Chain A
Amino acid sequence: MDCINQLAQCLNQGGMDAGLAQFISIFLGVVLVATFPLLVTILLIWVERKFAARIQDRIGPNRVGPFGLLQPIADVVKLLGKENITPTGADKPIYNLAPPFMVAAVLLVWAVMPLTPYHFGVDLEIGALYVITVASIGTLAVMMAGWASNNKYALLGAFRVVAQLISYEVPLAMAVLIPVMLAGSMSLQGIVKAQYGMWFVFAAPISAILFFISSQAETGRAPFDLLEAESELVAGFNIEYSGMKFAMFFAGEFMHVFTNGVLMAVFFTGGWIGPFVEQLPWLGLIYLLGKASIWYTISLWVRNSVPRLRIDQMMDFNWKFLVPMSILNVLVIAFLLQVIKQVGLTPIDPGNFIQNLPQTVVLLLGNVFVGYVMLSWVRSKGRQARAADEAKKMTAATVHAVGD
């Protein structure tokens, strides 16, 4: 907010009313924070299409501009020119409100994002909770779109989304709890600053994985893309939308994926932290976006190489694997943190790499323990299920043989 405060002073000295100057500067700040992710999204659409094309052994967009870079702009012009259709029997106000809600749900997350040490929209005391809270508005938007379209495929798609989003919010929130416990703060700026000595991904790799998987599910991307399973639901909740309203849903989705990358960077890989960030705060933004891009690329890679799950498999995976794992993870980490505190291994200066080592090693061992317990439990479950299957087949065969 440094530059923005200076702007207010500038305007004030130029003879403007103090209140008005403050209002204008805050307004400009809001516009900047809200526009930045939208502009990034235009580029991301190209990145995503090119990346998917290379994975599928195609070339991808290559006609408009150098390397097809201007393709998204051509798409936007095309979408702007399309007719906005409202189906008969649609609930008009709700139908029209749903797409802006979808975009707003993602944009609101950027309000608390720490971009550099000194540049952020607002440093909320409850930042981490706010991020999870705002995501629930996206669920509402999908629900509104699905119902207001007056189309049974849209409604079916919306039901699936809500079931999926509400379920995967549980491990997501549990995973965010770990960085909050490690940093002792819910403010995103506080969480980033607590990682000066050591990134949380080393102390809590399991919660990083849990957060990554559940945020992939929250965006509704493959392997969790049941909400728009083309072969089953035509297109899902957004089937009746066209033109810019359709584009808003997709802009929301693209932005959500990248925002999740940024959140991964903030919670687990140190946000804007990097060399020389103290001298040149703007470098922080480059570090943050760089780290976010790595997570974003992994997300695209998973999306383009893993097939879609069935809905019961998806629910089983969440409630019988991710949720127990996240609960066990929280219990073990909380216990170990208390033990570390009592023994006196807590780093006196959290910014010191060497002092962070004992705590990180202990927590990492705790993570290994959690991972081992969960995986061996799943293995024994699978073995039991296979044995039961075999037994059933055997009895069926004997009954058949006797019957003959």
Chain B
Amino acid sequence: MGARFAGQDAANRAFLRGDGWVMVVGGLTPQAIAFGFFTILTLGGACGVVLNKNLVRGAVWLIVSLFGIAGMFVLLSAPFLAAVQVMVYIGAIGILFTFAVMLTRSMTNLRQRFTAQWWSALIVVGMLFVFLMVSVIVPVWGGVAPELAGEVVATTTDLGAALVDGNQFVLPFEVASLLLTAAMIGAIVIARQHEEE
């Protein structure tokens, strides 16, 4: 154990001296490149959403950001979730966003970048960010075991079996489907024209 920490210390010092960059570039795996690419997509898309005056462009940037997250799922060896992410968030939600924005003409010609309450949003978001960073860096709820994603590969068949297995996730699955059905019926009831009136 001691030797390992010593080695890490040496690596840290080397990193501080500037040798670290050589190491990083030398160990650049395809996964690392892909991770960087999808991170740029996700964060860049998110910045695009926030900083764009035009709401339709904002919606397009949101889709870019969500696509980056789908890429992250692929890197985490969860292709099923990646496909669902693209289908639900890009194919349905992203498109409905653009749809709704386009239908409200006054929203497509906004010229303000921020609302009047931007500072309160900034405080809340900043606090959330600091909270997340602290909880990741300082192991408040127990340390984070560095686990390689590649070693926990589960097939789609496993996922399907887990959703209907009585010992695993059948109850959450059924509750979620019930909730979605209720939401769908609610939407239909709200949207329905009142024929008897």
Which residues of chain A are within 8 angstroms of B23 by Cβ–Cβ distance?
none
Tell which of A129, A130, A147, A186 touches B98, judged by Cβ atoms closer than 8 Å.
A147
The A contact surface, by secondary structure, is helix
Bound-state Cα–Cα, A124 to B74, Å: 12
Which residues of chain A are within 8 angstroms of B63 by Cβ–Cβ distance?
140
Stretch at the interface among A50-58, A131-139, A213-221, A267-275: A131-139
Inter-chain contact A133/B83, CB cutoff 8 Å: yes
Nearest CB in chain B: distance from A147 CB, A: 6
The B contact surface, by secondary structure, is helix
Which residues of chain A are within 8 angstroms of B91 by Cβ–Cβ distance?
133, 135-137, 139-140, 169
Name B61-101 residues within 8 Å CB distance of A: 63, 79-80, 83-84, 86-87, 90-92, 94-95, 98-99
Contact with B along A112-144 (1 / 0, CB 8 A): 000000000000111001101111110110011
B155 within 8 A of A: yes
Which residues of chain B are within 8 angstroms of A162 by Cβ–Cβ distance?
95, 99
Tell which of B92, B94, B102, B155 touches A147, judged by Cβ atoms closer than 8 Å.
B102
Inter-chain contact A126/B57, CB cutoff 8 Å: no
Which residues of chain B are within 8 angstroms of A144 by Cβ–Cβ distance?
60
Inter-chain contact B80/A126, CB cutoff 8 Å: yes
Assuming A94-B57, A133-B91, A162-B95, is B79 touching A155 (CB within 8 A)?
no
Tell which of B79, B84, B92 touches A124, judged by Cβ atoms closer than 8 Å.
B79
Which residues of chain B are within 8 angstroms of A155 by Cβ–Cβ distance?
102
A166 within 8 A of B: yes
A159 within 8 A of B: yes
Tell which of B60, B92, B102, B155 touches A136, judged by Cβ atoms closer than 8 Å.
B92
A48 within 8 A of B: no
Give the total of A residues in contact with B, Cβ under 8 Å: 24
Bound-state Cα–Cα, A94 to B91, Å: 17
Tell which of B54, B60, B80, B99 touches A129, judged by Cβ atoms closer than 8 Å.
B80
Q: How many A-B residue pairs have CB under 8 A?
A: 59
Inter-chain contact B155/A125, CB cutoff 8 Å: yes
Nearest CB in chain B: distance from A249 CB, A: 18
B49 within 8 A of A: no
Inter-chain contact B57/A129, CB cutoff 8 Å: no
Name B6-62 residues within 8 Å CB distance of A: 54, 56-57, 60
Inter-chain contact B98/A143, CB cutoff 8 Å: yes
Taking CB as reference atom, which chain A residue is nearest B160? A186
Nearest CB in chain B: distance from A325 CB, A: 19
Taking CB as reference atom, which chain A residue is nearest B102? A147
Bound-state Cα–Cα, A210 to B95, Å: 24
Bound-state Cα–Cα, A139 to B90, Å: 10
Assuming A125-B79, A126-B80, A166-B92, is B99 touching A133 (CB within 8 A)?
no
Tell which of A94, A130, A136, A143 touches B99, judged by Cβ atoms closer than 8 Å.
A143
Tell which of A134, A137, A147 touches B56, judged by Cβ atoms closer than 8 Å.
A147
Inter-chain contact A140/B94, CB cutoff 8 Å: yes
B168 within 8 A of A: no
Bound-state Cα–Cα, A139 to B155, Å: 29
Nearest CB in chain A: distance from B79 CB, A: 5
Nearest CB in chain B: distance from A227 CB, A: 14
Contact with B along A51-92 (1 / 0, CB 8 A): 000000000000000000000000000000000000000010
Most chain-A Cβ atoms within 10 A of its Cβ — which of B94, B99, B103?
B99
Nearest CB in chain A: distance from B4 CB, A: 30
Inter-chain contact A186/B95, CB cutoff 8 Å: no
Assuming A91-B56, A125-B155, A132-B87, is B99 touching A159 (CB within 8 A)?
yes
Bound-state Cα–Cα, A135 to B91, Å: 8
Nearest CB in chain A: distance from B114 CB, A: 22
Which residues of chain A are within 8 angstroms of B156 by Cβ–Cβ distance?
125-126, 186
Which residues of chain B are within 8 angstroms of A140 by Cβ–Cβ distance?
63, 90-91, 94-95
Nearest CB in chain B: distance from A312 CB, A: 13
Which residues of chain A are within 8 angstroms of B57 by Cβ–Cβ distance?
91, 94
Which residues of chain B are within 8 angstroms of A133 by Cβ–Cβ distance?
83, 86-87, 91
Nearest CB in chain B: distance from A179 CB, A: 15
Which residues of chain B are within 8 angstroms of A124 by Cβ–Cβ distance?
79
Nearest CB in chain A: distance from B94 CB, A: 7
Most chain-A Cβ atoms within 10 A of its Cβ — which of B54, B83, B155?
B83
Which residues of chain B are within 8 angstroms of A91 by Cβ–Cβ distance?
54, 56-57
Inter-chain contact B95/A166, CB cutoff 8 Å: yes
Nearest CB in chain B: distance from A297 CB, A: 30
The 9 closest A-B pairs by CB, nearest first: A136-B91, A133-B87, A129-B83, A133-B83, A133-B86, A126-B79, A126-B83, A125-B156, A126-B80
A-B contact pairs, 22 of them (CB 8 A): A94-B60, A124-B79, A125-B156, A126-B79, A126-B80, A133-B83, A133-B87, A135-B91, A136-B86, A136-B87, A136-B92, A139-B95, A140-B90, A140-B95, A144-B60, A147-B56, A147-B98, A147-B102, A159-B102, A162-B99, A166-B92, A169-B91
Listed in ascending order, the chain A residues whose CB lies under 8 Å from chain B are 91, 94, 124-126, 129-130, 132-137, 139-140, 143-144, 147, 155, 159, 162, 166, 169, 186
Listed in ascending order, the chain B residues whose CB lies under 8 Å from chain A are 54, 56-57, 60, 63, 79-80, 83-84, 86-87, 90-92, 94-95, 98-99, 102-103, 155-156
* Extra contacts besides A91-B57, A166-B92 (20): CB < 8 Å: A94-B60, A125-B80, A125-B155, A126-B80, A129-B80, A130-B83, A132-B87, A133-B91, A136-B86, A136-B87, A137-B91, A139-B91, A139-B95, A140-B90, A143-B95, A143-B99, A147-B56, A155-B102, A166-B95, A169-B91
